Structure 1
Amino acid sequence: MSIYNLCRCLSTAVRQLKQRLIDFTTLQVPDTTKLFELYTDAPGYAIGAVPEQDGKPISFVRQVMNPTQQRYSIYDQELLALVTALDTWSHLLRFSKGARRNSFATTQTTQPAVRNFTFAVQALQ
């Protein structure tokens, strides 16, 4: 392979890589007639969430946890991420054709994180 062909192949590969990065990070306009997939994470110091449709992101949210939240159990931190996501995108999720209502919304609990999650789910109904 000549240097010219190698440079041309590398240029094509770089262009394709740039286009894939642009395509992935370009936010999609939400369609409430389709299902939403909600991804959340709480690694112990912050929370993050991304709603997607057809594998493309619609929006992003991230928030640093305060010292009290950092002492939550992993379970409660994950619930905090989910509650934050539900609060942030309730205007989309409430009217989504695929919105599912589960019986856990009637669960009785004294844990603040679980109670907040229950309230967030009930607000979507």
Structure 2
Amino acid sequence: MASALWSGFEHDFGNGIHLLAPQVEHIVRMILKGEGVHTSNIDRDGIENENGLTTLLNNERAEEILGEDLLFELKAVFTESVGPNLRNEVAHGLLSDRSSSSVASVYSWWMILRLVVRSLYETEKDNKD
């Protein structure tokens, strides 16, 4: 995560998005798990699998936990086919050099930086209380 954020500060959003996209799923998963949401499923062979980002964001409690605005942002940037769909583009090797440095990649970098900084602020605030 630190390398991805540093890449953005160095204006290397192409590398940054390739590192950040998988971490977004992890961040969302940890937030939901922290609120008691089950983030996995058991297939018909009895094997437990973690749900993907789209399924996590479509969870019935996602809006309550993440908030309407952040949920919309995450879906619009990372999972919706009418948007940049960065998570799927990166995961499936479809992100071109040009689109990896697009406005959407820069915006996603900023959005994740904002989430990290906000979490640090909230942690510090909680420690003072």
Q: Specify the TM-score bucket, using the shorter chain as the normaliser.
A: under 0.3
Please identify which structure carries the higher helix content. 2
Select the structure of larger CA radius of gyration: 1
Greater strand content:
1
TM-score for both structures, normalised by structure 2 = 0.23
